[in-house]
Amino acid sequence: MQKRIALKVNGRPVQIEIDIRESLLDVLRDRLQFTGVKQGCSVGECGACTVLIDGVPVNSCIYLAAWADGKSVTTVEGIAQDGRLSPVQEAFVEEGAIQCGFCTPGLVLSTTALVESGKRFTHDEVRRELSGHLCRCTGYQKIIDAAERALREAEAASE
Ligand code: FES
Ligand code: FES
């Protein structure tokens, strides 16, 4: 069964005809060419497919595209600012938190959501908040360092 949905992707309005069984991951990657959304496990275990829906991190492989009707979706392609890496992306680069990069878009988006919450997080809370992301290259320490750097810098910038 087909359904026409209207959503925003990275701030731009999109209207698209979907099969109601299609995942948001498939629509974003295969139909709209947002290939920064990675496909890993396809069962909600690895976090590679994470996007923000109305600012909240979601595993797009287990989220139906139909549910995104009327919502605002952010992929990693949408967070650069004026053609420059976002502060969270910069923090990942500065901390060397990227190896093959497959897990990076999802982690950057989840970290962006933490930063945008405006809350303070302890070290253990950051680890817990990012625990839904698997890094096959196992660079976890640098990833946590990058997230904490991004949070620290955002806090300093708001003072
Ligand atoms: S591909 Fe979606 S959680 Fe792994
Ligand atoms: S950097 Fe390779 S999977 Fe995380």
Domains of the chain: 2-78 (3.10.20.30), 87-158 (1.10.150.120)
Q: Which of 24, 94, 15, 102 is nearest to 57 (CA)?
A: 24
Question: How close is the Cα of 139 to the center of ligand 2, in Å?
Answer: 7
* Ligand located closest to 139 CA: 2
Pocket lining: 72 vs ligand 1, CB cutoff 6 Å: no
Residue 74 has pLDDT above 90, yes or no: yes
Residue 147 has pLDDT above 90, yes or no: yes
Cβ contacts of 36 within 8 Å, gap of 6 or more? 75, 76, 77, 105
Residue nearest to atom 3 of ligand 1 (CA): 44
**Residue 159: pLDDT band by 50, 70, 90 thresholds?**
confident
Q: What is the rounded average pLDDT of the residues 143-157?
A: 97
Residue nearest to atom 4 of ligand 2 (CA): 135
Residue 13 has pLDDT above 90, yes or no: yes
Q: What is the pLDDT of residue 72?
A: 98
**Residue 61: pLDDT band by 50, 70, 90 thresholds?**
very high
Question: How close is the Cα of 87 to the center of ligand 2, in Å?
Answer: 20
* Exposed / middle / buried, residue 42 (Cβ in 10 Å: 0-12, 13-18, 19+): middle
